[in-house]
Structure 1
């Protein structure tokens, strides 16, 4: 032992810029797919003062295994993988690297929107199989169509502004939004958004209140032929209901997050030709990797140095 306080990283690596910031601490890496029991064992072994969460969940069991734990810092913005109630009860700070991957996720949302509207993966596959579908295929033109944004945080705002630039009518639902970008109209009800939008893009956090918010009833409110994109959290969607809606109701869906991750295989989505899948990769760009690591590290330092200053 080198006498340094320990910070556990629930992943196999961290950006060098973040590692440099944490030079006064010993970093212990939990590996690519850490399970809660494994994290609890590591916590018992090292009694960390901080945990940086890349993959997996941090449960009450993990917290109880680390009496010295002062801060749990998310490598990104989605803190639903941390038991926030348990952390609050134990006086452990929970922090998120808000906005660190906003540009990356917004770009990926647009990659999925365009891939759905222009059938990019399908046409690529057809070309590779020797087909030339120019006379039989029409793509969807987004100019003049309505984009519905659910959640106007940093990611949603970026997606919305791009929609305006693409010539779309952009509407958004976010009861907490204090301002909206130019060219974006707030609506007061989700049903109103679903009924009006040709493309719906989800950018809200997952809470117990909105879990399964897209289900058989709410999907029935969508326009026939609409596109749905989810780069937020898989738990927002009732997946069997979406699979049904993709069989005739919706034109396509682009999904980057799933109810269970990694996605359970086999999965009904694998058999649907009009759904485009990616492995929760939206926030994992070259720049976001650094931004999230540095943001998570700075959040850890702010809490630990604040604690040290208070002693």
Structure 2
């Protein structure tokens, strides 16, 4: 049941929202599903509370969950990637799907560069060696990025930021994005094979689709330069992880920086945890103090834009 005086329920697949987002939704009752909600958890909560909107932080929203609430009008992503929402099922049911476009772009772009630098300069490896008592000044050589080529797959808000930073470092920047009509000054649009073949650093910034699933595989890795660096702050499904492990083991790739994985979180010992030339982070590229607020307020505003427009037309 909806609390007295409230316009409806908003189900949040997480434990919290930024206070600014809560304020935007002050006329709605908020129900939080917890940190790791399963499909069954969300089914029960949707059936019980009949939310008009779902804000998606963690977990996935399926057609079954949508069917559990006859009041559901919008599914709003707390972020930009909507691959955890069955958009086809939503469209069939007349339910809007919205994303907080650009809300976490600065955070993800910065984390991309943290991973690029960590790989190029072996930050983690050197730190570990220092703690073990080694002083590798006479043997270590890092990769200098000036004059090298950064290849971007995806040229949205995040890819553009990453590319502009590369230009400021004196790098050559190429990019592939079938939906990009133009590129920032200094960024060259090329085909995907050219990105694979010419990149010293390859960085992924595209959504995951049926067409590009495992686009980084044994064949595409073989076309890359020996000693290249691969960074993924997009979606784990873009990479064939076994093929990546083999490329890292063989030295085909110098290093990789990964913030997303095929299965999240790791449920058991993962082969990537035993690879020395990979830097791992738990899909937190878009998690920063400011992005948390921007994603929350963006998601909340998207809820109001749909729900209150429909209510006004009713």
Tell me the TM-score normalized by structure 1.
Answer: 0.99
Instruction: Give RMSD over aligned pairs.
Output: 0.7
After superposition, give the CA deviation of every residue in 1:73-96 in whole Å (9 maximum; x if it has no partner).
000000000000100011000000
What is residue 85 of structure 1 aligned with on the other side?
88
Indicate which of 52, 57, 70 corresponds to 1:49.
52
1:306 is aligned to 2:296: no
Q: Which runs of structure 2 are paired with 1:142-221 in the superposition (5 Å)?
A: 142-187=145-190, 189-221=191-223
Partner Cα distance (1:127, 1:308) in 2: 62
Equivalent position SS for 1:251: strand
Match of 1:129 in 2: 132
Q: Which residue of 1 aligns with 2:111?
A: 108
- The count of residues paired between Structure 1 and Structure 2 equals 310
Unpaired segments ≥5 residues, structure 2: none
Partner of 1:244: 246
Q: Does 1:31 align with 2:65?
A: no
Moved over 6 A (4+): none
User: Hey, what does 1:266 align to over in structure 2?
Assistant: 269
- The separation in 1 between residues aligned to 2:302 and 2:279, in whole angstroms, is 35
CA distance in 1 between counterparts of 2:263 and 2:101 reads 23
Deviations 1:144-198 (A, max 9, x none): 00000100000000000000001101000011112211111110x2111111010
1:100 positional shift: 0.1
Deviation at 1:263, TM superposition (A): 2.4
CA shift at 1:265, angstroms? 2.4
Deviation at 1:306, TM superposition (A): 0.7
Per-residue CA shift, 1:258-299, capped at 9, x if unaligned? 001102421111111000000000000000000000000000
Cα distance in 2, alignment partners of residues 67 and 240 from structure 1:
43
**Structure 2 match to 1:232:** 234
Unmatched 5+ stretches in structure 1: none
Distance 1:206 1:137 in 2: 37
Partner of 1:139: 142
Question: What TM-score do the two structures reach when normalised by structure 2?
Answer: 0.98
C-alpha separation between the residues in 2 aligned to 1:179 and 1:287? 29
The DSSP-based 3-state class of the residue aligned with 2:193 is helix
Deviation at residue 45 of structure 1 after TM alignment: 0.6
C-alpha separation in 1, matches of 2:247 and 2:183: 31
Q: Give, in whole Å, the separation in 1 of the partners of 2:110 and 2:198.
A: 23
Deviations 1:40-76 (A, max 9, x none): 1100110000000000000011001011000000000
